[in-house]
Structure 1
Amino acid sequence: MSESTKLLRDIKRSVLDLSPIVQGGTASDSYRNSLDLAQHVENWGFHRYWLAEHHSMPSVASSATSVLIGHIAGGTKTMRVGSGGIMLPNHAPLVIAEQFGTLASLYPGRIDLGLGRAPGSDQRTMRALRRDLRSTGDDFPELLEELRDYLRPRPEDEPAKGVRAIPGEGLDIPIWLLGSSDFSARLAGQLGLPFAFAGHFSPNYMQTAMHTYRNSFRPSEVLDEPYAMLGVNVVAADTDERASYLASSLYLTFLNLIRGDLKPIQPPVDNIEELWTDFEKLTLNAQLRSSVIGSPETVQKGLQSLLDATQADEFMITSNIYDHAERLRSYEIVADVWNL
């Protein structure tokens, strides 16, 4: 198949969930909504469901990511569930090996381990996580090597010595590298691992990272060929006008983030133009320019255009929508347009 004929139905669709906390809601509400969404998208044919590690953010309930993965996996049947991602420098590799070894033992063949190198937090939160504030993430390759060593199978004749991850050792837990630049793209390629790019908030590096990953790819015991997944913001509704209105919550979230005024997910507004400066508007439109917002027809065209540009092997859809029923509808529309 030539690149120009690659269609949405030729690739997998998946979900990235931050278990959003909305204004007036609680973390308990968020967890119920996440499980409900997971059960719906499993029925709609989505391939995997990932949860992301962030800390000290009033809009995100997925900070204890491994715990929430177990909750979602326990409430679904066949869909893969995992991390998008675990920020490895926040943790001892042994702890992650044991946590995901436990998950993979509870839900065999269904757990993914996506890893990032960013803190997922600010400096004060990094200190609370016992992170070295001088760390730039450059030690990520060493942390990754340590984690992979804990998970590798041990030959029967190998002496049982040293530290071991039990459970975890010898389990088939797919490891993905996540990134918003070309650092992890290059590392994933060199190690022959699958790569997921954060196109939903870093579109400027999207093409560079995808190109770097494919050019640096070396076949491994994990993959014979590169496998690249792209994160995409999607806000879908029955009309373009409705989708644009719902998407104002997404823009408000990023607006509050750049202002340092962190809040739960805000309700949509009729006229966001009244709430931002010209500079803020330019900044946010640049950061969110790869977002796909609109009616089923608009969404289908937008996703196909992204596929044409990136030749991704899988899209991971994230929908930052205030109302849970509207969020469900957005994912239902994505499922409907996939096979057009």
Structure 2
Amino acid sequence: MSVDLSILDLAQVGPGETVTDSFAASRDMAQRAEQWGYRRIWYAEHHNMSSIASAAPAVLISHIAAHTSTIRLGAGGVMLPNHSPLSIAEQFGTLAELYPGRIDLGLGRAPGGDQKTFAALRRTIASAEHFPTDVLELQGYLRGQSRVEGVSATPGAGTDVPLYILGSSLFGAQLAAALGLPYAFASHFAPQALEQAVALYRSEFQPSDVLAEPYVIAGVCVIADDDEAVAAEQLLRAKRQRVTALFGRGRRFTDEEADAILSVPQGRQIDSMLTYVGVGTPVQVREYLDWFTDHADADELILASLAPDRTVWRNTLAHLAPAAIPSPTAAPSAG
């Protein structure tokens, strides 16, 4: 693997698990990932979703950082329309002061929930229209160059927390290019515009004092197991869970009901969401990731382990870890 590998941890709460169980699994994963050689772990802001526990990324990041030493940690991402730029500057400025040199801040403009949730957060859909100016305001706070006269972020000013623009459309690609910031594409769940967005970002990129050359992180789903059949079964289970999450409205479908929904056009959108999934044995998934790196024109991959089973979830990332991948220049074994 010629690019850095990172992890997107969705802090999933599986059937029969509690939120406490989810956080314990995330902490354990981060400690292992640090040893395995992953570059970073990101946590995404989601609201009103009983199966995802990362509603407060900054709090979760602080907990994980306190139990690790070197791995980079960040939000992938904070949905900026849900917040004021000043509050995010203060939160991530606090993290940067507590854990210097380890904090990232990915920014998205989606609400991270449905319209009722947006209203409960005391925001409106129109908040997303201010995303570009909000990014600049946030960047100013973190650099100690506030764009709001008389207002400074404490903590935050001077920490210069690295910013990443997240997206699944051409809008984010254009913004990241114009600001000279790295770009992370959400191809792990919204793959349709991947090639066009990355090409646009690279062609329109304007060098900045943050970044001299374009830098692309691409998300990809993975399930790896020594038994190829186990990996395939885990993918089917993951799809069934998404059926419940998207269409269940508070009820859990049986396997038969979920499979029936997956077979009709409404359910096939789940297959579309999961266009980029590496599934199979560790060797097969590594080969897939090599292909996907070229296909996405990516400088870094961020892996989302889809496996519902905690053991397969953890082992997937163990199998694919940089420390587990032989160097291409290593001499072949004599055995």
TM-score for the superposition, normalised by structure 1: 0.90
1:141 alignment partner in structure 2? 132
Please state how far the C-alpha of 1:129 moved relative to its aligned partner.
0.4
Structure 2 regions of 5+ residues with no counterpart? 329-335
Structure 1 regions of 5+ residues with no counterpart? 1-7
2:141 alignment partner in structure 1? 150
Task: Quote the RMSD (CA, aligned, Å).
Answer: 2.2
> Mean Cα displacement is larger for which, 305-314 or 281-290?
281-290
* Corresponding letter in the other structure for 1:194: P
1:257 alignment partner in structure 2? 245
Secondary structure of the residue aligned to 1:113 is strand
- Contact 2:43–2:75 under 8 Å retained in 1: yes
The answer to whether 1:99 aligns with 2:91 is yes
Q: 1:223 to 1:62 in 2, by over 3 A?
A: same
State which of 315, 325, 330 in structure 1 corresponds to 2:301: 315
State which of 297, 314, 320 in structure 1 corresponds to 2:283: 297
Q: Distance in 2 between matches of 1:301 and 1:150?
A: 43
Please state how far the C-alpha of 1:127 moved relative to its aligned partner.
0.3
Secondary structure of the residue aligned to 2:106 is strand
The answer to whether 1:50 aligns with 2:42 is yes
Q: Distance in 2 between matches of 1:174 and 1:292?
A: 29
* Corresponding letter in the other structure for 1:149: G
Matches within 5 A, 1:67-216: 67-133=59-125, 135=126, 137-154=128-145, 162-216=150-204
Please state how far the C-alpha of 1:136 moved relative to its aligned partner.
6.4
Q: 1:37 to 1:270 in 2, by over 3 A?
A: farther
Q: Distance in 2 between matches of 1:240 and 1:260?
A: 29
1:3 alignment partner in structure 2? none
* Corresponding letter in the other structure for 1:257: A
1:26 alignment partner in structure 2? 18
Please state how far the C-alpha of 1:248 moved relative to its aligned partner.
2.1
Q: 1:119 to 1:247 in 2, by over 3 A?
A: same
Secondary structure of the residue aligned to 1:84 is strand
Q: 1:97 to 1:275 in 2, by over 3 A?
A: same
* Corresponding letter in the other structure for 1:35: R
* Corresponding letter in the other structure for 2:143: R
Q: Distance in 1 between matches of 2:84 and 2:259?
A: 45
1:328 alignment partner in structure 2? 314
Please state how far the C-alpha of 1:301 moved relative to its aligned partner.
1.6
Q: Distance in 2 between matches of 1:40 and 1:262?
A: 34
- Contact 1:87–1:119 under 8 Å retained in 2: yes
Alignment size in residue pairs: 325
- Contact 2:243–2:261 under 8 Å retained in 1: no
- The percent identity for this pair of structures is 43
Please state how far the C-alpha of 1:253 moved relative to its aligned partner.
3.0
> Mean Cα displacement is larger for which, 287-296 or 247-256?
247-256
* Corresponding letter in the other structure for 2:246: I
Q: Distance in 1 between matches of 2:177 and 2:38?
A: 26
- Contact 2:243–2:258 under 8 Å retained in 1: no
The answer to whether 1:276 aligns with 2:268 is no
1:4 alignment partner in structure 2? none
2:274 alignment partner in structure 1? 288
Please list the CA deviations of residues 68-109 of structure 1 after superposition, one character each: whole Å capped at 9, or x if unmatched: 000111111100000000000000111000000000000000
**After TM superposition, where is structure 1 displaced by more than 6 Å over at least 4 residues in a row?**
269-272
